[in-house]
Structure 1
Amino acid sequence: MATSPLLHAGPAVGFDQPFDMLLACHERVQRSLDLLLRLQAHAATQGADAQARDAARDVLRYFDLAGPKHHEDEERHVLPRLRAAGRTALADRLAADHAEMGRQWAVLRTALEALRDGHGPGPDAAACQAYADLYAGHMAAEEGEAFPTAAHQLDPATLAAMGAEMASRRRAA
């Protein structure tokens, strides 16, 4: 297994461009999901070796810290705009995805913590794939429909306020 990629690297995007920041987060989500899938395959054959423990630590860090902040950004700034635009079904689906991601993550998290600590076989392959598949469909809906709809005709002051709120919550953490 290769060394874990830097999970917080990505395009040089700031909170002054909040929708670009959300898209950049999706790139980091995808890298973390790819790492999760590689980790699962590695742990299934190599066990809880040093590389598996390091990768488990990286996956846990991303989905425990950055993932929930990203979902909160969407729930505060994207879903209400979808509802206001008459796209309630899409907003409800994305909110339900967030809840299901939380349920699936709780199961994966337990297996990843054990692996990180040097115990257990690691996460189940089917559970990892289901999590990655759920995220893939979710991100596709956001990038293809939700973000463009939510961003439609937002003025610079509204975008600046959105970005400032997102940044402020991260500084407060």
Structure 2
Amino acid sequence: MDITTSPLHAGPAAGFDQPFEMLVACHARMEHMLDVLDRLGEHLATHGCDAQARSAAADILRYFDVAAPLHHQDEERHVLPRLRELGLAGVAARLRADHQVMEHDWARMRPDLQAVADGRLQAQQLPAARQRWTLYSTLYRRHLAAEEVHAFPPASAGLSAEQQRAMGEDMARRRGAPYPAADGAP
């Protein structure tokens, strides 16, 4: 059984010139990585730290060490301020608090995944690790759903093409990626 079952880093369904669509596409990749995390716990219980488990743990580490923090920065730089401008400071505060909890929880569970990636997680450590992973996954999924329902629609409504372009350019720049040219060429 392949833990990942599908490509971990499929290309985005949208580019930086569609910043909110790109945020939603990132959510789909996050959901996939959370699914991999869920399957990893099951796999470890049966197979231990075999090559598939080590590879899946390394993929999870890479994603939540690099892509997820950039995504949170996108939201904190562009979505949360917009929500505050629109009188939705409570929504912005809750989402920011979620980010802080997720960062804390990631720091607590990262050593578990590093131990799996290194092939040294012991069977007696797995139940506590899986509990941390389940709590993280549950919070993350609730957070993603809240953003898609309560944050992205109002934050994106009424943004001018110039505002969307500035947002997309910032997102691309922080990743060291090119912003699409007007003719579609990078």
Question: What band does the TM-score fall into relative to the shorter chain?
Answer: over 0.9
Q: Distance in 2 between matches of 1:114 and 1:146?
A: 36
Contact 2:3–2:39, Cα closer than 8 Å, also in 1: no
Contact 1:48–1:120, Cα closer than 8 Å, also in 2: yes
Give 1:130 deviation, angstroms: 0.8
Q: Distance in 1 between matches of 2:118 and 2:99?
A: 27
Give 1:10 deviation, angstroms: 4.5
For residues 92-137 of structure 1, the C-alpha deviation after alignment (integer angstroms, 9 at most, x for no partner) is 0000000000111112110000110010145722211111110111
Contact 2:82–2:155, Cα closer than 8 Å, also in 1: yes
Q: Give the match for residue 62 of structure 2.
A: 61
Q: Give aligned pairs, total.
A: 172
Q: Which amino acid aligns with 1:47?
A: G
Cα RMSD for the two superposed structures: 1.4
Q: Distance in 2 between matches of 1:89 and 1:113?
A: 36
Gaps of 5+ in 2: 178-186
Contact 2:24–2:148, Cα closer than 8 Å, also in 1: yes
Contact 1:10–1:24, Cα closer than 8 Å, also in 2: no
Contact 1:15–1:163, Cα closer than 8 Å, also in 2: yes
Percent sequence identity over aligned pairs: 53
For residues 127-158 of structure 1, the C-alpha deviation after alignment (integer angstroms, 9 at most, x for no partner) is 11111110111111110010011111001011
Q: Secondary structure at the match of 2:176?
A: helix
Larger radius of gyration, structure 1 or 2? 2
Q: Secondary structure at the match of 2:15?
A: coil
1:15 corresponds to 2:16? yes
Give 1:71 deviation, angstroms: 0.2
TM-score under structure 1 length normalisation: 0.95
Matches within 5 A, 1:1-173: 1-2=1-2, 4=4, 5-121=6-122, 122=126, 124-171=129-176
Gaps of 5+ in 1: none
